[in-house]
Amino acid sequence: MTLLAFDWAIIIEKLILIAIIVLTTLLITLYTTFGERKVAAILQDRPGPNRAGPFGLFQPLADGLKLIMKEEIIPTSASKWLFILGPGLAMTASLMTSAVIPWGTELHLFGRTIELQIADINIGLLYVFAVVSMGVYGIMIGGWASNNKFSLMSALRAASQAISYEIAMGLALIALLMTTGSLSLKTIVADQVAGNWWNVVYQPLGFLIFFICAMAECNRTPFDLPEAENELNFGYHQEYSSMKLGFYLFAEYVNMIMSSAIMASMYFGGYDLPFFDESTVAPNIAAIIGVGTLLIKIVLFVFLFMWIRWTIPRFRYDQLMNLGWKKMIPLALLNMLITGALILSKL
């Protein structure tokens, strides 16, 4: 029975934490869709959705309700189980990243120390990398199972795009790994909190590469080729309807929030509020301030994503591949080389 002799309360604690994180993420996602429409409108001198509720705040609820009430259509020629699996997989893969993100320091409640991170695994960065590349499975399976040539084309594009940009992304992460010396996200953030500078100061080029690749991984404009409506009608979710379509659209926003959280944690100090000494306040208050700071950083990154989307047009496919293979990968390699040389010279 020694196997079972551990603190059982930790399971409940983690379950509650998971529930809170997933639900909060979904709620934020709901309002990110609203934010996207508002940002687009304001950048284009329009008021945007303002009819449902005060300032149009109930608009996402109306959108969600509409998607749920729509008829579910599964094409007869589609592979049924994979067709149903696709959106679920896309959503799961994008939510899984949240497991390793340190949302804050620790809370002291009911005589327990609750870490605000679901799992502090020592291969955090590798886990992130693995889960991010899982994201393309949802698109691949959905597009393939639809049995529609446009969906298939779009799925192919998504897969090749993800593979191309993951290489540069991985190389940028390796350079970061060389400076931090740890794969655990908790350690990476803690080092930035303790040290004076955020990692972006040491890795500006690495951050730029990571940011561009994250945008490509999220299928956001200018890299939204899988959804290029003028070439592929509607892309991989062409045959989807009702909430299955909703899940695909939702997963994109969850992806965006998760990559923002990862970028904030890895390059911008995570829950670290700059010019503020956390040890001067009570630990619980410090933790809450930390969570708030991380959320603000996420919102800023999400705004940056949207701002870019409503500024520049989509790349052509050959331009996308050109940028990925001929520019990003050599740049990432160069970044790695410089980082390695600097570390060696310091030793």
Partner 1 sequence: MQALTNKSIAVNRSPMTIWERLYLINIIKGMVITFSHMFKKQPTVRYPEQKREFSPVFRGLHVLNRDEEGRENCTACGLCAVACPAEAITMEAAERQEGEEHLYREEKYAAKYEINMLRCIFCGLCEEACPKDAIYLSETFAPANYTRKGFIYDKNDLLIPNTLTNATALAKAKGVEA
Q: Which residue has the tokens 């959503």?
A: 91
Indicate whether 334 belongs to the interface with partner 1 (CB under 8 A).
Answer: no
- Cβ neighbours of residue 325 closer than 8 Å, sequence gap 6 or more: 164
Candidates 19-27, 103-111, 257-265, 308-316: pick the segment binding partner 1 (CB under 8 A).
Answer: 308-316
Of how many residues is the chain composed? 347
124, 100, 134: which is closest to 176 by C-alpha?
Answer: 124
Q: Which of residues 49-88 bind partner 1 (CB under 8 A)?
A: 50
Indicate whether 204 belongs to the interface with partner 1 (CB under 8 A).
Answer: no
Indicate whether 205 belongs to the interface with partner 1 (CB under 8 A).
Answer: no
Indicate whether 45 belongs to the interface with partner 1 (CB under 8 A).
Answer: yes
Indicate whether 312 belongs to the interface with partner 1 (CB under 8 A).
Answer: yes
Name which position in 43, 67, 84, 193 contacts partner 1 (CB under 8 A).
43
The nearest distance, CB 235 to partner 1, in angstroms, is 24
Three-class SS state of 113: strand
Give the H/E segment covering residue 66.
Answer: helix 59-69
Indicate whether 326 belongs to the interface with partner 1 (CB under 8 A).
Answer: no
Indicate whether 308 belongs to the interface with partner 1 (CB under 8 A).
Answer: yes
173, 174, 191: which is closest to 270 by C-alpha?
Answer: 191
The nearest distance, CB 307 to partner 1, in angstroms, is 6
Q: How far apart are CA 324 and CA 326, in angstroms?
A: 6
Name which position in 46, 66, 80, 108 contacts partner 1 (CB under 8 A).
46
Name which position in 20, 23, 27, 42 contacts partner 1 (CB under 8 A).
42
Name which position in 58, 129, 234, 310 contacts partner 1 (CB under 8 A).
310
Indicate whether 7 belongs to the interface with partner 1 (CB under 8 A).
Answer: no
- Give CA separation, 112 vs 7, 76, 109, 232, in Å: 11, 54, 5, 54
Secondary structure of 153-205 as H, E, C letters: HHHHHHHHHHHHHHHHHHHHHHHHHHHHCCCCHHHHHHHHHHCCCCHHHHCHH
108 strand-pairing partners: 113
Which residue lies nearer to partner 1 by CB, 212 or 286? 212
Indicate whether 337 belongs to the interface with partner 1 (CB under 8 A).
Answer: no
Name which position in 9, 285, 311, 337 contacts partner 1 (CB under 8 A).
311
Name which position in 15, 16, 27, 47 contacts partner 1 (CB under 8 A).
47
Name the site residues for partner 1 (rule: CB under 8 A): 42-47, 50, 307-308, 310-312
